Chain A
Amino acid sequence: MSMTALKSETETVTVLAPPPSAVVAMRPKPQPRADKYLKAARETAARVIPPLLVVTLLMVFWELVCRQAGSALPPPSKVYSDTKELIFDPFFDHGGIDKGLFWHLSASLQRVALGYSLAAIVGVALGTLVGQSVWAMRGLDPIFQVLRTIPPLAWLPLALAAFRDGQPSAIFVIFITSIWPIIINTAVGIRNIPQDYRNVAAVVQLNPLEFFTKVMLPSAAPYIFTGLRIGIGLSWLAIIAAEMLIGGVGIGFFIWDAWNSSHISEIILALFYVGIVGFVLDRMIAGLGRIVTHGTSAG
C-alpha cells in the first residue's frame, strides 16, 4: 500500500515539473531522515519502474502472440499453470533426477563453485607469473591465445576420456572455460602496476610475498575482477551445455530432459531461473570487486 503511495508521489513530482528541491524547501523544517528515505525511495522507483513496465509489455505481447490455437510455444499464462508445482515446491525430492528445481540449480552451482574457484586461484597465479616475467609471457602467452579459443564443449569428450566420470569432467569444463579471461586480465593488471609503486616497494624493501599481497594484488585488483566477472559468466554458460551432455542432476540436464518429454513450459521456467542465477552470480562478483577494490583508483 505504501509502495503505491510512494510511486504515485514520485510520478507527480517528476511529471508535474516542480524540481524536488523546491518541494523540500517549502517545508518549514524538514526532517533530514524522512527526507533521506524519500529521496532513496524516489531513486529506487526511478530504477525499478522502467524495467517493470517493459517486462509487463513483453509479457502481454507474448501472451497475445502465443495465445492462438496451434502456437508452437505456450503463452505465459500456460507456462504458469503448467509449472505451478515446480515454482511453489522447489524442494521436493522423489529420488533419481526427479527433484525440485532448487536441487538442480544447487547441483549446477556446486559444480560452478568448484571449477570456478580452481580457475580463480590458478588463473590469478598464472596471470601474475605471465604479467611479472617477460620469459613466462613469451613462453606461455602464445599457448594461452590458442587454447582460449577452443569452445568449452570441445573439451568435454577429452575430459570424459581422462576422468571417466561426468562430475569431474563438468568441473574441468568450467575450469578450462573460465580460466583464460582471469589469466589474461590478471597479467594485464600486473603489467600495469605503476613503476612508482614498485619503487616504493623497493625502498621499503618488501619481500616478494609482501610485494605480492600488499602491492601487486591491490594494484591489479580492478583488472583481476574484470577477469573474474567475465569468467563467472562463461562458466555459467558452459555448465548448462555440459550438463545437457553428461546428464544427472543439474539445471542443464533438467532442460534437456524437459525437451525430451516435450514439457516446453518447464524449459521456459528453467531458462528464467538460469537467467536470474547468472545475473545474481555476475552481480555478486561485481559487488565483491567493488568492496575489495574500494579506493584502488589512484587519486
Chain B
Amino acid sequence: MTAYLKLDHIDKTFTRGAATTEVLKDINLTIERGEYVSIIGHSGCGKSTLLNIVAGLTRATIGGVLLEDREVNSPGPDRAVVFQNHSLLPWLTVYQNVRLGVDKVFSKTKSRTERHDWTLHNLNLVQMAHAADKRPSEISGGMKQRVGIARALAMEPKVLLLDEPFGALDALTRAHLQDSVMALHQKLNNTILMITHDVDEAVLLSDRIVMMTNGPSARIGEVLEVPLPHPRKRLELATNATYLKCRQRVLEFLYERHRYIEAA
C-alpha cells in the first residue's frame, strides 16, 4: 500500500507548569490518495488536536506527519483546513476570502485573470458564486461553511482537512452540505481527512472510519472500512444492510466499549 499521507507514531503531551497531560498516544495511520477518512471519538479525546498536528498548527511531541514521503511540520496550503466555525475574515467579501488563498498559492503559476476565474470557479463548485460580493455577516451559517470549503478547495490541497465542518449547522443544512461534500469528493477525488462526532455522517461520507478511544492518552481503537460504493444516496442507505452494520459497529465502539466518561 502506498501511503500518501502517513501519521507516524504521533504522541502529544501538553505541559502546563509541572502538570503534563498526555493527549494522544502512538497514533499510526496511513491514508491513500483519494481516500475519505473520518476520525470519530467523544469530545475531549484529542481528535481536533490530531487534525491540528496534521495541519501543522500544532507540533507533535513525538513522531510526525509524512505527506508524499516528506515530513510536514508547519501549516501550508497543501493541507487546507475547513474550520468548524468557518473562520472567514469578516472584513473581506466572500470573493476576497477565497481570493486571498488563491493569490498566495498561485502567485507565480497563474495570471491575474486566471486567478479571478479560478476563484469564481471554486465558488461555483459550492454554489456560492451568486454571493461573491457579500460579506460573511450577510450570509447564513451553511453558506459561510460553503465558502470555507471553497477557500480550502481553491488552494488545491493535497489533503483536505475538515474539522467538524458541519458541527455548528442545523440538521437540514448539515444534510444538504454533506451531499455537497460527497458530490465534490466524487468529482474532484480529493484526499479528505474529516473530524466528526456524528456517526451517521461518518458512515455516510467515509471510506474508512478511525475510532478513537477516550483520553487522556487517546489512541486509535479500531479502523472500520465502509464497503459501500460511491456515489451514495442518503435515502437508499437508510435501509441498506451494510450501512446499518457499519453504523452499528461504530455505535457499539463509542457507547459500549468506550463510553464517554464525564470529566471529574
CB contacts (< 8 Å) of B155 on chain A: these are 204
If A199-B81, A202-B57 touch, does A215 touch B135 (CB 8 Å cutoff)? no
A206 touches B104 (CB 8 A): yes
In the complex, the answer to whether B138 meets A299 with C-beta atoms within 8 Å is yes
Which of A65-73, A244-252, A261-269, A290-298 lines the interface with chain B? A290-298
User: Does B91 sit within 8 A of A, measured CB to CB?
Assistant: yes
Q: Which positions in B face A, CB cutoff 8 Å?
A: 55-57, 74-77, 79-81, 83, 85, 87, 89-91, 100-101, 104-105, 135-138, 155
Contact residue among A205, A221, A293 (Cβ-Cβ distance under 8 Å from B104): A205
A218 within 8 A of B: yes
List B contacts of A221 (CB < 8 A).
91
Q: Shortest distance in angstroms between A54's beta carbon and chain B's nearest beta carbon?
A: 37
CA distance A272 to B75 in the complex (A): 58
Interface flag for A200 (CB, 8 Å)? yes
The size of the chain A interface, using a CB distance under 8 A, is 23
Interface status of A162 (Cβ within 8 A of chain B) = no
Interface SS, B side: loop
Residues from chain B with a CB closer than 8 A to the CB of A196 are: 83, 85, 87
- Known A-B contacts A197-B89, A295-B90; A203 and B136 likewise in contact (beta carbons under 8 Å): no
Q: Which of A200, A210, A219 contacts B83 (CB 8 A)?
A: A200
Q: Which of A204, A206, A293 gathers most chain B CB within 10 Å? A: A204
Which residues of the partner chain B approach A205 to less than 8 Å between Cβ atoms? Answer: 75-77, 104
Q: A283 at the A/B interface (Cβ < 8 Å)?
A: no
C-alpha gap A200/B91 in the complex (Å): 14
Chain A 209-224, CB-CB to B under 8 Å as 1, else 0, gives: 0100011001101000
Residues of B within 8 A of A298 (CB): 90, 136-137
A218-B89, A295-B135 given; name 5 further pairs at CB < 8 Å: A197-B87, A199-B57, A205-B75, A298-B136, A298-B137
